[in-house]
Amino acid sequence: MTPTPDLLSNDHESVDSSSRPDLSHTGHEVESADPQRAADEAAADGEEEEELFEHFRFTAESGQRPLRVDKFLFNFLNGVSRNKVQQAAEAGAIRVDGKPVKSNHRMLPGQTVAVVLSRPPREIELLPEDLNLEVVHQDADFVVVNKPAGMVVHPAYGHYSGTLVNGLMHLFQELPFTSDRDRPGLVHRIDKNTSGLLVVAVNDYAMTHLAKQFFDRSTDRRYTAIVWGNLAADEGTITGNIDRSLRDRKVRQVVPDGARGKHAVTHYKVLERFGFATVVECKLETGRTHQIRVHFQYIGHPLFNDTEYGGDEMRAVPYSPPNFKAFVHNAFVVCPRHALHARTLALDHPKTGERLQFSSPLPEDLQALLDKFRKTQAYNPE
């Protein structure tokens, strides 16, 4: 059966390889999304199949446990429901090692699954948008912006507009590109629901210089986070390799044995205690995806209201205010995202070498959350 045009859409178009989920260093092979003619064999009546175009291709790594193909794809295709994946399989649009499969097909290590449709993949077009970005610093070489929570940094699958990059394209006619054509000027990123500071290069020289600072770890980035529970020590260091989870490829996990993943180090210092929660300052020694969120989940103190790492669940704590369940529910309403803010950023100016530091106050939702915590009987200023 030839796939229908709206399969997997969910109001989103499929995209080229530059806007797929970042699968580098995961053991998964990601093929190019260039159009591919899927004329496998002529049908029995002598007619050829309609020309199909490959939109996504993923290869199961050696450690992959047997998993239904619809669940496997659901872990990769952000913004697409599992029901849409199942519909695509029923239409013959899901192929494993070149053959159409049903949604209950179990993926095995080494097998390759591809999504093919009757239309070519949509290429990302970087359209300028006036998003009223908050610019903290701007000169001829770089700009520092204060990103609000909820804003995606660059266009990707399901997010073709309203991103930070779209706003930057409105402010600047040209920004330097790396190999990732959808990420002009970017030398680092923060999560969609993390607020705070990012530096963006305005020219090629600054791009190279700033990227080297991040590579050499000479920048100083500090975050304010609110985590569940009462941390035992006033300061400490969390070390653990971070890699994609084998159970849910949209999230990361600490790999204790260090056999895979990337080395990651987070330093923290307690700023304020509430008994049931702790405010910490985090200093990144490395910059891995979801690093702070993964590391604090690993030590049993996930970020407050972190839906991907268990922070949105009611947790047993030794000290809590009266009517704790209702209190926590109201707190989630006050701050409807994980409690993390990129508060300070220090770096060397690409041209002058001067050490510069920028800061951003806590946004309204995090400040309101702290104010709520401070009014509880659990708050102990000592």
| Beta strand 241-244 pairing with 277-284 | unpaired
- Asked whether this chain's domains 17-117 and 134-374 adopt the same fold, the reply is no
At 172, is the pLDDT very low, low, confident or very high (cuts 50, 70, 90)? confident
Best CA proximity match to 165, nearest among 152, 149, 179: 152
Task: Give CA–CA dist 40/149, Å, rounded.
Answer: 46
3-state class (DSSP) for residue 296: helix
Q: Which pTM value belongs to this model?
A: 0.70
Q: Is 134-374 a CATH 3.30.2350.10 domain?
A: yes
Question: Is the predicted pLDDT of residue 227 greater than 50, yes or no?
Answer: yes
Burial 194-204 (b: 16+ CB within 10 A, else e): bbbbbbbbbbe
Question: Is the predicted pLDDT of residue 310 greater than 60, yes or no?
Answer: yes
Higher pLDDT, 23 or 362: 362
DSSP 8-state assignment for residue 294: H
Question: Is the predicted pLDDT of residue 40 greater than 70, yes or no?
Answer: no
Active site residues: 191
Task: Give CA–CA dist 8/5, Å, rounded.
Answer: 9
pLDDT at 74: 83
Residue with tokens 């080395």: 263
Task: Give CA–CA dist 43/40, Å, rounded.
Answer: 9
Question: Is the predicted pLDDT of residue 311 greater than 50, yes or no?
Answer: yes
- pLDDT tens for 47-101 read 333 456 677 888 888 878 888 998 888 887 766 778 888 888 888 889 999 889 9
Which three-class secondary structure string do you get for 116-162? Answer: EECCCCECCCCCCCCCCCEEEEECCCEEEEEECCCCCCCCECCECCC
- Which residues lie across from 106 on neighbouring strands? 68
What are the residue boundaries of the structural domains of the chain, listed by start? Answer: 17-117, 134-374
Task: Give CA–CA dist 256/241, Å, rounded.
Answer: 7
Span of 240-249, 282-291, 333-342 with lowest mean pLDDT: 240-249
Question: Is the predicted pLDDT of residue 209 greater than 80, yes or no?
Answer: yes
Which one of 2.30.42.10, 3.40.50.2000, 3.40.50.300, 3.10.290.10 gives the CATH number of domain 17-117? 3.10.290.10
Mean pLDDT of the 121-137 span: 81
Identify whether the C-beta of residue 295 lies closer than 8 Å to the C-beta of residue 280: no
Question: Is the predicted pLDDT of residue 189 greater than 50, yes or no?
Answer: yes
pLDDT at 4: 33
Tokens of 85: 């994946």
**DSSP symbols for 197-254:** EEEEESSHHHHHHHHHHHHHT-SEEEEEEEEES--SSSEEEEE-EEEE-SS-TTSEEE
Question: Is the predicted pLDDT of residue 136 greater than 80, yes or no?
Answer: yes
Helix H or strand E encompassing 278: strand 277-284
Which three-class secondary structure string do you get for 13-64? Answer: CCECHHHCCCCCCCCCCECCCCCCCCCCCCCCCCCCCCCCEEEEEEECCCCC
pLDDT at 76: 78
Average pLDDT, the chain: 81
Residue with tokens 């304020």: 272
pLDDT at 78: 65
